[in-house]
Structures are given as C-alpha cells and as structure tokens.
C-alpha cells in the first residue's frame, strides 16, 4: 500500500493540523509516513500545502502522484489536480464552487459541521480528518486517539468536540460520497504502533544536541533553522541549558564561542544569510581553537532568496568560509534519524579536534517528518577530547605543540593555570607573536589535525550492487529521492547503485576511488545549479562525473523526477 494525501489552503486555515492528525492516525496504525510542507514566506494567506505519503514498507521521499486532495481553497484544487491519480478523490469544502469537477469528487460540509456540531469553525481540521478516513474506509477508532493526542493539552471539552465533528463528517461521507477510491482499509490488520517517533530533521538535531549535553545555544531566528532553537529553548529550564535570542547573528556566534571557551558545549543555528554574518567569527573560533557547532539549514539565495524553500547551495561557501587556512568539519545528515546521530557526533568531533563543526541541513531536511523507532539515548557517548589535568601547573600552555596538533584544554577558573587565548597568531602560551618561525609551527599545528580527523569521519555508504555500471552520487537530504529511484530502477533490471556522503569535509576518498573505478557512469545529483559536491570531489580526487542532475527551483526532488532526468539523458 502506497498512498499520498495533499492538504492545501491558505496559511492560518489549519493545514498543518490536518496533516498532523492524518500522520498520527497512520503511525498508530503501524504504517510508515513521510510528510513534507510547502509554504510561502508570509504569515497568513497564500497557497500552502502539507503532503503525507503513507506506506506499509519504509519510504524515503515524497512522490509526484496524489491519491486524495483535501482542498480548503480553490487554489488547492487548481494547483494539485494535474497530479491526482486516475482513481483519486478531491475533498473540498462545499462553500468552494467548481464548475468542472466530476461527480466522483466530494463537496463536504466541513465548515458547516465544525460550526454546528463543534461550535467552532477551527474544528474544520477534525471534519476534514473524518471525511478523509471515510473515503478510504479507514476504521474511525484510531482517529479518536489521534485527536486526543493533538488536542489533549487544551482540555477534555476541546477533545470531545473535535471527536464529535470528525465522527459527524465520517458518517456523512459514508452516506453521501458517490465516488470510489481504490484504497479500502476497512479490513486493516495492522495494530497500533507505540514504538514510533514522528520527528522532523530540526527536532532530531535538537534532541541530539540535548543528548550530547549541550549547555549553551544562541541564535538569531532565521528560517528554516528556527525550530531547532525553539525546541531546545522549550526544554532549557529543565535541562539547565543556557539560551539567548541575540540581536544579530554575529552576536550569536561570538557568545557561543565565549561559552565554549568557558567550558560549555555550545551551538548556533542559522541559515545561509545568517552564516554570512558569522564568517569572521568562524575564523576566531579556528584561531583560538575553541570548539563550536554551527547548524546551517540552507535555503535558496543569494540575499533573502526564497526563505521557505530548499536548496544545497552553501556547501563550498561553508567549506572555505573565513580567510586563512584551517581545518573544519562539515556533516550533512540525510534524514531525521541520521540527524540525531550527526548532532551527537558533531559535539564530540568539535571538542576532540578543537575545530568548528558545521552541520548542513536544508528546508527539506528541516521540515520533513518521518516516523522512526524511538531513540535510545543510552547509546550516546560523550568525548570531550584532551582536557588538561587538574591541579597547579605554572607551565601550562594552551597551545602546546603536539604531534597530532591537539593541545590539552583548560578553562578559565581552573586552579593553578593561566589561560590566554587570542584571535592573532600566538605562541604556545597564547600570547601574540609575529615570529615567522612560530607562524609556521602554528599553521602546521592546524594541518596536523587533519589525518586524525579523516580517520574519525565516516566513509560514504554504498547502496546496491558494488559492480553496477551506473552510480548515483549524492550528499545530504537528496539521499531519499535518489535511493528510491535507484531501488525502482534496480527492480527493472538496470545495473545501478548509489554512493552517498554524510561526512563531507575533509573528504574521505578511499571509497570514492574504489566505487568510481568500477562504475562506467557517475551521476551527481544535487539541489544546486553548479554541482558543488561534484566540484569538491574533482578538486580532492581529480575524478569527474558523467552527468550532472541539478534542481534549483526551491522544491524538493522526487524519485520520479530523477528517473525522468536519467531517461532524458538516455541512461536508463
């Protein structure tokens, strides 16, 4: 079973709530879900939609075809009807007039029922839930639990009102819907699934940071990263995490550097425009060898660009940001589950090597939601790297030269130690110098970290036949669409595999050479116009790709879109 629902309307109409309710129902029924959100950069109005894909097998991306459209405005029909499957159904409020819809589509009294049964027009989302579940013959019992979960904090009266509205529309639809839907889930045998967590990429990063013992986060809100900051702030009091919404991005990162210098695990969240303002301070963190984690949820630029859309166009900017040469680490999680792991690893890597660690997400990763097994935080390990021994040490040198380039860290206030740091070139004791010899030694100190960093980074993952003739090359959130495209093509007998990177920079090249040596064609798939990762691969290895597939309209890729691009190029 594989069915996609699209709920469309204006911002403020409860589109997200309907999507959350549907997702909750299907997860409780034991299904896999994948939810995306498409919205304009305005507070109210404009056409927006939430799309939920539901399957009885794991799914990794959204798809083009839609089976059920819930339309709260005329635009919601006009913008999606071309994607509706042959046996698909459009459910729309009866107040929205259409002259050219077939009788099989369903004008439902959503607003009327919300007012008459529930006494509140805002209960239209519960009415829509009832109509949808009735059209696909889904048992109503799980809807009651979902409504309780979503509205429980508002009190029993609100819960019971929404349940009554949903049931009224469920029964009304049973009696009045004359169309057919190929999905009949009346005899569903799956049971409630209590071990699944519905989670977005941003929330997964927040949970990972908390599990890694984050103690300071500062940020200037910027879509699409803001919800990570909000999630941490909401738990900050109980978990004793220092948080501050600063007046700008430069303040955010310099405060985080200061907190890290004092010994707190520190993080900032932003998007590309905000990171542009942080670049000078990235150099300060590098020169002072003060660990920090930076999350950039990418969006299309330059300047304000498309604030609520998705893109992967900041990779090279982040890899070479700030003047001078110094090591930094770039990680790009493919989905929320990996996002949690990446967050915990990022703090360990930052403190172990005393470098900036940058996490690259994007709007698609940030806002997409999937259901995953509940996270076992007991498996999280914390590695703070080289910490100076306690006690008096009049000879302590914060930047002591070592074979691996990593010096023991002490913190202001540590007994018997004087800690001096600087954004200038400095001696081992931290005091500024312009000595040519010391400059050479300190630059080499930076570079000596790189072999150990590379050894600690994860190699790319190869999916499919390691002897395949064609290789799809991806990084970050494009994994899902590319992976499903590879699976579909493989099932048709096409010789294809998929090489995916999460740990991007510095670049581990062993697996690249191994896979690309066997492959006849290498196809880079990126959400940018210039194939930035492919350029990085060529720079690091000299290896080129056969074909570049790029998407840069701000909308996410789908498996079908990738397959069509491969067909257009005559490769499948």
What is the distance between the alpha carbons of residues 5 and 23, in angstroms, rounded to a whole number? Answer: 10
Residue 515: its pLDDT value, please? 92
Rounded to an integer, the average pLDDT of 152-179 is: 89
Q: Give residue 147's pLDDT band: very low, low, confident or very high (50, 70, 90).
A: confident
> Which DSSP symbol is given to 213?
T
The model's pLDDT over 3-55, given as tens digits with 9 standing for 90+, comes to 999 999 887 777 888 888 899 889 888 889 999 999 888 776 678 999 999 99
Query: How confident is residue 102, by pLDDT bands cut at 50, 70 and 90?
Result: low
Q: Burial, 83: exposed, middle or buried (Cβ in 10 Å; 0-12, 13-18, 19+)?
A: middle
Residue 538: per-residue pLDDT: 95
Is the pLDDT at 190 greater than 60? The verdict is no
pTM of the model: 0.94
More confident residue, 321 or 393: 321
From the list 154, 124, 121, 114, the residue with the least C-alpha distance to 7 is: 124
% of the chain at pLDDT higher than 90: 73
369 closest CA partner among 70, 51, 1, 57: 51
* Residue 174 to residue 177: CA distance in whole angstroms: 6
* CATH 3.40.50.920 domain extents, the chain: 458-568
* CATH of segment(s) 200-379: 3.40.50.970
CATH topology of domain 2-190: Pyruvate-ferredoxin Oxidoreductase; domain 3 (3.40.920)
Provide the β-strand partners of residue 294: 268, 358
Q: 3-class SS at 5?
A: strand
Q: Does 505 have pLDDT greater than 80?
A: yes
3-state SS, residue 207: helix
* Strand bridging mode 369-373 / 196-200: antiparallel
Question: In degrees to the nearest 10, what's the CA dihedral of 437, 438, 444, 448?
Answer: 140
Residue 267 has pLDDT above 50, yes or no: yes
Please name which of 429, 495, 496, 500 lies closest in space to residue 462, comparing C-alpha atoms.
500
| CATH 3.40.920.10 segments of the chain | 2-190
pLDDT band of 187, cuts 50, 70, 90:
very low
Residue 135: strand, helix, or coil: helix
Question: Which has more pLDDT, 369 or 187?
Answer: 369
Mean pLDDT of 501-527: 94
How far apart, in whole angstroms, are the C-alpha atoms of residue 55 and residue 23? 11
Angle (deg, nearest 10), helices 336-353 and 201-211: 40
Instruction: Print burial letters for 128-140: b (CB count within 10 Å at least 16), e (below 16).
Output: bbbbbbbbbebeb
What's the pLDDT tens digit per position in 386-432?
A: 999 988 888 899 999 999 999 999 999 998 899 999 999 999 999 99
Q: Quote the tokens at residue 230.
A: 């909000």
- Nearest CA to 145 among 277, 237, 29, 314? 29
Q: Tell me how far apart the alpha carbons of residues 13 and 48 are, in angstroms, rounded to a whole number.
A: 10
pLDDT of residue 103: 60
Q: Taken in order 304, 305, 311, 317, is the CA torsion positive or negative?
A: negative
pLDDT (tens digit per residue) in 106-118: 889 999 999 999 8
CA 115 – CA 488 distance, rounded (Å): 46
Q: What is the dihedral of CA 161, 166, 172, 178, to 10 degrees?
A: 160
Instruction: Compute the mean pLDDT over every residue in the chain, rounded to the nearest whole number.
Output: 92
pLDDT of residue 86: 86
**Residues in the chain, how many?**
572
Write down the CATH number for the domain with range 458-568: 3.40.50.920
pLDDT of 487 above 80: yes
Average pLDDT rounded to a whole number, residues 543-567:
96
How many other C-beta atoms are found inside a 10 Å radius of the C-beta of residue 161?
Answer: 22
């Amino acid at each position: 079973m594989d069915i996609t629902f699209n709920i469309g309307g204006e911002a403020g109409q409860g589109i997200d709530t309907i999507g959350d309710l549907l997702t909750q129902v299907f997860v409780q029924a034991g299904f896999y879900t994948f939810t995306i959100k498409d919205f304009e950069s305005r507070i109210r109005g404009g056409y927006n939609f939430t799309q939920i894909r539901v399957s009885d097998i794991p799914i990794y991306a959204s798809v083009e075809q839609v089976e059920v459209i819930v339309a709260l405005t005329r635009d919601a029909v006009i913008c999606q009807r071309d994607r509706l499957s042959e046996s698909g159904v459009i459910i729309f409020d009866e107040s929205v007039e259409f002259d050219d819809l077939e009788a099989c589509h369903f004008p439902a009294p959503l607003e009327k029922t919300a007012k008459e049964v529930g006494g509140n027009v805002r209960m239209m989302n519960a009415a829509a839930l009832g109509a949808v579940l009735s059209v696909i013959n889904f048992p109503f019992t799980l809807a009651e639990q979902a409504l309780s979960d979503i509205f429980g904090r508002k009190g029993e009266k609100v819960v019971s009102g929404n349940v009554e509205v949903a049931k009224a529309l469920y029964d009304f639809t049973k009696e009045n819907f004359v169309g057919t839907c190929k999905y009949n889930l009346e005899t569903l045998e799956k049971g409630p699934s209590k071990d699944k967590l519905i989670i977005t990429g941003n929330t997964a990063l927040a949970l990972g940071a908390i599990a890694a013992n984050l103690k300071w986060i500062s940020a200037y809100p910027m879509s699409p990263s803001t919800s990570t900051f909000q999630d941490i702030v909401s738990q900050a009091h109980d978990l004793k995490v220092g948080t501050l919404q600063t007046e700008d991005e430069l303040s955010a990162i310099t405060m985080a550097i200061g907190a890290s210098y004092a010994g707190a695990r520190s993080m900032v969240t932003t998007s590309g425009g905000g990171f542009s303002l942080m670049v000078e301070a990235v150099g300060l963190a590098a020169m002072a060898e003060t660990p920090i984690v930076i999350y950039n949820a990418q969006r299309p630029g330059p300047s304000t660009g498309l604030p609520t859309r998705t893109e992967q166009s900041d990779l090279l900017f982040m890899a070479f940001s700030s003047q001078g040469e110094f090591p930094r680490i770039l990680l790009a999680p493919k989905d929320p589950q990996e996002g949690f792991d990446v967050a915990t690893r990022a703090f360990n890597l930052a403190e172990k090597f005393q470098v900036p660690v940058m996490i690259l997400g994007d709007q698609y990763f940030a806002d997409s939601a999937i259901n995953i097994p509940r996270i076992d935080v007991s498996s999280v390990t914390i590695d703070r790297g080289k910490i100076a021994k306690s006690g008096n040490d009049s000879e302590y040198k914060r930047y002591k030269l070592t074979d691996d380039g990593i010096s023991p860290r002490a913190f202001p206030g540590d007994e018997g130690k004087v800690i001096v740091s600087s954004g200038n070139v400095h001696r081992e004791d931290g005091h500024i110098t312009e000595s040519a010899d010391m400059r050479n030694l300190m630059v080499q100190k930076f570079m000596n970290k790189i072999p150990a960093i590379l050894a600690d980074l994860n190699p790319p993952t190869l999916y499919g036949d390691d002897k395949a003739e064609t290789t799809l090359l991806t990084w970050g959130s494009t994994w899902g669409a590319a992976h499903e495209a590879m699976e579909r093509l493989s099932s048709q007998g096409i010789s294809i595999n998929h090489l995916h990177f999460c740990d991007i920079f510095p670049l581990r090249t062993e697996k690249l050479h191994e896979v690309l040596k066997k492959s006849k064609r290498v196809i880079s798939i990126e959400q940018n116009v210039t194939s930035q990762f492919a350029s990085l691969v060529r720079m690091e290895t000299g290896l080129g790709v056969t074909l570049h597939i790029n998407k840069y309209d701000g909308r996410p890729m789908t498996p079908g879109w990738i397959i069509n691009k491969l067909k257009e190029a005559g490769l499948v």
